[in-house]
Amino acid sequence: MTDLMTDPETISRTRTGATVEFRGLRRSFGATTALDGLDLTVEPGELVALLGPSGCGKTTALRTLAGFERPDSGKVLVDGEDITGVPAHRRNAGMVFQSYSLFPHLTAIDNVAFGLRMSGIGRATRRARAAELLELVGLPQHAGRFPHQMSGGQQQRIALARALALRPRVLLLDEPLSALDAQVRLTLREEIRRLQQQLGITTMFVTHDQEEALSMADRVAVMCAGRLEQCAPPAELYERPATAFVAEFVGVMSRIPARAGADDGTVDVCGRTLPVNGTLPGAAEVAGGKGEVDVLVRPEAVEVTADGEGTSRIVGASFLGATTRLTVRLADGGEVTADVPTHTATTLPVGAAVTLRLPDRPVLVDRRRGNGGGDRG
């Protein structure tokens, strides 16, 4: 994109990131519960991504913060101040929507200046500021265009500029990239992140695209059925998921049947005994008796070797570039996803009998699920 011609300091001068807190938010629409006691705190200047399957309440949470939904119970606090009853237009929250939301009857610069106009700022001042913001999002030459004359990516940039125009305390992004094509999505997401860090503005970003969440956010809040499953930095979320839902929703995770070791703290899997790294909730009590458990593994942690005597069989392969993703069916019918370097994949044709090995590292254990239900990528 364009170099910044505006000194970011002049724009962020009066702005400091705010703390946002959700406390026990509940909201239901008829029979469906969108929020079921959501608690979450966002630190000043942080970008938190709300991630979850559709219908998990992430958008409702964001709209509650924006003031478009009222919670049935619970509170929303910004900088410790309860804003639950404050109407949307007095919340000072900038918002970018999923669908193109520019005002069709106004030009780009008038769209950006709209908020300033509503707050009674003089014409010259607001035009200058709007022009400054158009520079910031890299579209100064589009000032006079109407929304229908711009591409989707350009419209979302203008929408971002409009959201930032009033120097909001929080920036709310409701799947702003999901209507764009892949290439634009990538550049725009880097740009949003760059702007957000530059301005130090507290940001909540709703997305159902985990790659987007993991690559942009300081912390990712995974939601399911109106509750927070885990809120952690991306790496931690990937390495140490707190619940089975997070483990299987974020990234690809396969289950391999295993047997809990005699003494607590080890597990027998794929012919070797490995220490247990973490146990997901509910694993301990079910693992009683002879300890039927599942070991959860990422595809990059599974080693596949050709073995005529092996009880597992390769049933599928997809080329991903440097690696090839193999689907391996275990003797009990479960499926495991494994990534192998593409150059070794040539020795592992579909149909070959193989043996799986896990590296000598601590593993994540969950209670045994179903009849070898296997992979849930």
Partner 1 sequence: MARLNTLRYGRAAVLTLTGAYFLVPLACAVAFSIGAGVPGQDIGFEAYTGILTAGGFTDSLALTLELAAATIVLVLGLLVPALITVRLAAPRLRTLVEIVCLLPLVVPAVALVAGFSAVLGWGSDHFVGTPLFQVLVELQNPQFPLVLVLAYTLMALPLAYRTLDTGLAAIDLRVLVEAARACGAPWPRTLLHVVLPNLRGALLNTAFLTLALVLGEYTVAAILGYQPFAVWILAISGSQAQMSVAVSVMGLLVTWVLLLIIATAGRARRPKETS
Nearer to partner 1, 65 or 250 (CB): 65
Report the C-alpha gap between 112 and 359 in whole angstroms: 54
Nearer to partner 1, 126 or 329 (CB): 126
Nearer to partner 1, 178 or 344 (CB): 178
Q: Which 101-130 residues touch partner 1, going by CB under 8 A?
A: 101-107, 109-110, 113-119, 123, 126-127, 130
Burial class (CB in 10 A: 0-12, 13-18, 19+), 225: middle
Shortest CB 332 distance to partner 1, Å: 50
Nearer to partner 1, 128 or 315 (CB): 128
User: From the list 41, 97, 242, 298, which residue makes contact with partner 1 (rule: CB under 8 A)?
Assistant: 97
Name the amino acid, one letter, at 36. D
Nearer to partner 1, 112 or 283 (CB): 112
Shortest CB 24 distance to partner 1, Å: 25
Report the C-alpha gap between 204 and 64 in whole angstroms: 12
Q: Which 192-211 residues touch partner 1, going by CB under 8 A?
A: none
With CB under 8 A as the contact rule, which of the stretches 15-23, 83-91, 318-326, 343-351 interacts with partner 1?
83-91
Nearer to partner 1, 118 or 315 (CB): 118
With CB under 8 A as the contact rule, which of the stretches 70-78, 94-102, 281-289, 346-354 interacts with partner 1?
94-102
Shortest CB 360 distance to partner 1, Å: 53
Nearer to partner 1, 137 or 163 (CB): 163
Nearer to partner 1, 116 or 214 (CB): 116
> Which positions from 37 to 66 touch partner 1 by CB under 8 A, shown as an x/- string?
-----------------------------x
Site size toward partner 1, by CB under 8 A: 40
Residue 89 near partner 1 by CB under 8 A: yes
Number of other CB atoms surrounding residue 73 within 10 Å = 12
Nearer to partner 1, 152 or 310 (CB): 152
Burial class (CB in 10 A: 0-12, 13-18, 19+), 349: exposed
Residue 94 near partner 1 by CB under 8 A: yes
Nearer to partner 1, 123 or 343 (CB): 123
With CB under 8 A as the contact rule, which of the stretches 160-168, 228-236, 250-258, 355-363 interacts with partner 1?
160-168
Residue 162 near partner 1 by CB under 8 A: yes
Residue 345 near partner 1 by CB under 8 A: no
User: From the list 137, 158, 163, 363, which residue makes contact with partner 1 (rule: CB under 8 A)?
Assistant: 163
HEC states along the chain? Answer: CCCCCCCHHHHHCCCCCCCEEEEEEEEEECCEEEEEEEEEEECCCCEEEEECCCCCCHHHHHHHHHCCCCCCEEEEEECCEECCCCCHHHCCEEEECCCCCCCCCCCHHHHHHHHHHHCCCCHHHHHHHHHHHHHHCCCHHHCCCCHHHCCHHHHHHHHHHHHHCCCCCEEEEECCCCCCCHHHHHHHHHHHHHHHHHHCCEEEEEECCHHHHHHHCCEEEEEECCEEEEEECHHHHHHCCCCHHHHHHCCCCEEEEEEECCCCCEEEECCEEEEEEEECCCHHHHCCCCCEEEEEECHHHCEEEECCCCCEEEEEEEECCCEEEEEEECCCCCEEEEEEEHHHHCCCCCCCEEEEECCCCCEEEEECCCCCCCCCC
Residue 272 near partner 1 by CB under 8 A: no
Chain positions contacting partner 1, by CB under 8 A: 66-68, 87-90, 92-95, 97, 99, 101-107, 109-110, 113-119, 123, 126-127, 130, 146, 159, 162-163, 165-166, 172
